[in-house]
Amino acid sequence: MNPGIETTQLKDIVAHAKEYGFVFQSSEIYDGLAAVYDYGPNGVELKNNLKRLWWEAMTQLHGNVVGLDAAIFMEPRTWVASGHVAGFNDPMIDNLDSKKRYRADVLLEEKAAEYENAGDPARGAALTAEMGRLLTENDLAGVKELIIRENIKCAVSGTCKWTDVRQFNLMFSTQGSAVDSDAPPVYLRPETAQGIFVNFLNVQKSARMKIPFGIAQIGKAFRNEIVARQFIFRMREFEQMEMQFFVRPGTEGEWYDTWKAARRRFHEAIGLPASKLRFHDHDKLAHYAKAAVDIEFEFPFGFKEIEGIHSRSDFDLTQHQELSRKKQQYFDNDVDPATGKPYGNYVPYVVETSVGADRLFLATLCEAFQEETITEGEGEAQQTKTRTFLKLHPAVAPIKAAIFPLVRKDGMPEKAQEIFDALRFDFRVVTEERDAIGKRYTRQDLIGTPFCIVVDGQTLEDDTVTVRHRDSREQTRMPISELRTYIGEAVSFRRVFEKL
Ligand code: ATP
């Protein structure tokens, strides 16, 4: 792969995202805050649509999955129990010449990917396996040795002069109390999962859930990432969509496979092609995990994780039970065929699905970004140009249809307004009168609007309009009375859900 091409592509997407109101650098007028981003008018619509799709795919399509919205701040002992205070670290290493800081594991993973791309996957796999072993044993000196042995150089200085590898805790903390200066700091949650675990019994009892059941949550999470780059791929403040599925011990393997397949189908259903998705088993398991797999998407900068599926055993609930001294058990009165008696009390096992809303957004945007060469006009006036458009799934497009009067007279603007008024109760639609019709199409293409509706002379006679399709640029004529059903069918979430 040519690294020049990769970065140009991401650069184009970043520029596009800014220019057309999808993503802005946070506090840009002060030159920005590293790895923090804001979503603009089109970005927030796209992101909300993705979140709503996920939410409904979880809580509406599954009778045994319910929602939760827990607070960002939690009692600090939560993070002791979860293992984050002691173990939520990344191994970091600095280059002495450039003073640039890297994640030691990322340097090694990139080296392994290099072997793989050069046609030596066995060597790549051996390297990741060795790294996994060293990290599991917390052998940081060994990790450094491996980096040196692999002759990994700093991308800036080009040298191998590395510091020792150290662990760096990724949690942000803030003042816990306004009145008690000795109060322990509170953390900004580094994952939404713990809000679900500590509410396990509240939810189970209040919603009268029977195992197996799931709790879904969407919310902000914060991590002081060592190397924050690749746009919104790695942020310090981001959003997670997590679902913890509580199961009877011994059945977790089946549920792990079920959710693994279900989550992959979701990504394909919203328009990420199967060829750009793959599973990647973890080489180094997190402190809580029995089995873990990433769903990776092929970004312009390579295959990277968008979602993690983890079999977490009873680790979290047991930890909370011990530290809080509150039982986290479920009474299962289903009969165990082996004993003929109810399964009785146990701490459930958990299978987790955890996807980043921002990474899903970036994957969707990267996939949608299209540049095609088209020929316009006839004879001497014929010209070839590049058309840029966002081929978003209509269900997630920020605006579903744009309504244009062909000209600003003869009652056409009024007719367009009438159509707008009728459609806005169902869809996010806009009207536009300025500029030539071609320019108006272009503006909608750039933000991924699937339909442009044009009111012309004929409309005033027979109440029909032309509907121009974003991807094919084809136009069809249809009665105004059919627009609502036509657009509704195309943008409906049902189109996604039917594929799940
Ligand atoms: P990575 O290895 O890339 O740091 P992770 O394995 O630590 O990710 P998880 O803890 O499994 O990530 O979090 C679940 C999901 O949350 C990830 O798949 C990703 O989509 C999202 N996520 C995690 N960290 C970030 C971040 N810094 N910025 C944006 N999204 C993130």
Report the C-alpha gap between 204 and 314 in whole angstroms. 16
Question: 44: which 2 tokens?
Answer: 């927030």
Which residue, by CA, sits nearest to atom 12 of ligand 1? 308
Question: Which of helix, strand or coil describes residue 496?
Answer: helix
The reply to whether ligand 1 has any atom less than 6 angstroms from the CB of 242 is no
Instruction: List the binding residues.
Output: 103, 191, 223-225, 233-242, 305-306, 352-359
Is the pLDDT at 62 greater than 80? The verdict is yes
Residues 280-305: what's their mean pLDDT? 86
Q: What is the structure's pLDDT at 5?
A: 40
Residues of the chain with pLDDT > 90, as a percent, come to 89
Task: Summarize pLDDT for 149-195 with one digit per residue, the tens.
Answer: 999 999 999 999 999 999 999 999 998 777 777 888 899 999 999 99
Is the pLDDT at 20 greater than 60? The verdict is yes
- For residue 295, the ligand 1 atom closest to its alpha carbon is 18
Instruction: List the binding residues for substrate.
Output: 103, 191, 238-242, 352-356
Q: What is the structure's pLDDT at 222?
A: 98
Handedness of CA 171, 176, 181, 182 (dihedral sign): negative
**Amino acid at position 260, single letter:** K
The reply to whether ligand 1 has any atom less than 6 angstroms from the CB of 78 is no
The reply to whether ligand 1 has any atom less than 6 angstroms from the CB of 234 is yes
Q: Which helix (H) or strand (E) holds 302?
A: strand 302-313
Task: Summarize pLDDT for 377-417 with one digit per residue, the tens.
Answer: 888 888 898 999 999 999 999 999 999 999 999 999 999 99
Is the pLDDT at 283 greater than 70? The verdict is no
Which residue, by CA, sits nearest to atom 31 of ligand 1? 356
Q: How far is CA 263 from the centre of its chain?
A: 12
The reply to whether ligand 1 has any atom less than 6 angstroms from the CB of 193 is no
> What is the total residue count of the chain?
500
Cis geometry, peptide bond prior to residue 394 (ω within 30 degrees of 0): no
For residues 301 and 319, the answer to whether their CB atoms sit within 8 Å is no
Question: 204: which 2 tokens?
Answer: 């189970």
The reply to whether ligand 1 has any atom less than 6 angstroms from the CB of 194 is no
The reply to whether ligand 1 has any atom less than 6 angstroms from the CB of 263 is no
Is the pLDDT at 8 greater than 80? The verdict is no
Q: What is the structure's pLDDT at 95?
A: 95
Angle between helices 357-368 and 41-59 (to 10 degrees): 120
Per-residue confidence band for 4, with pLDDT thresholds at 50, 70 and 90: very low
Is the pLDDT at 63 greater than 80? The verdict is yes
Residues of the chain with pLDDT > 70, as a percent, come to 97
The reply to whether ligand 1 has any atom less than 6 angstroms from the CB of 192 is no
The reply to whether ligand 1 has any atom less than 6 angstroms from the CB of 289 is no
Question: Which of helix, strand or coil describes residue 346?
Answer: strand
Span from the CA of 383 to the centroid of ligand 1 (angstroms): 46
Average pLDDT, the chain: 94
The reply to whether ligand 1 has any atom less than 6 angstroms from the CB of 394 is no
Task: Summarize pLDDT for 427-480 with one digit per residue, the tens.
Answer: 999 999 999 999 999 999 999 999 999 999 999 999 999 999 999 999 999 999
The DSSP call for residue 137 is T
Instruction: List the binding residues for ATP.
Output: 223-225, 233-238, 305-306, 356-359
Per-residue confidence band for 3, with pLDDT thresholds at 50, 70 and 90: very low
DSSP lists the bridge partners of residue 490 as none
Task: Judge if pTM exceeds 0.75.
Answer: yes
Which residue, by CA, sits nearest to atom 24 of ligand 1? 234
Span from the CA of 252 to the centroid of ligand 1 (angstroms): 23
- The least confident of 30-44, 220-234, 275-289, 391-405 is 275-289
DSSP for 273-303, written as a single string: -GGGEEEEE-SS--TT-SEEEEEEEEETTEE
- Reference 1, options 299, 435, 413, 206; nearest CA is 299
Span from the CA of 356 to the centroid of ligand 1 (angstroms): 6
Task: Summarize pLDDT for 348-363 with one digit per residue, the tens.
Answer: 999 999 999 999 999 9
DSSP lists the bridge partners of residue 73 as 188
Q: How far is CA 109 from the centre of its chain?
A: 21
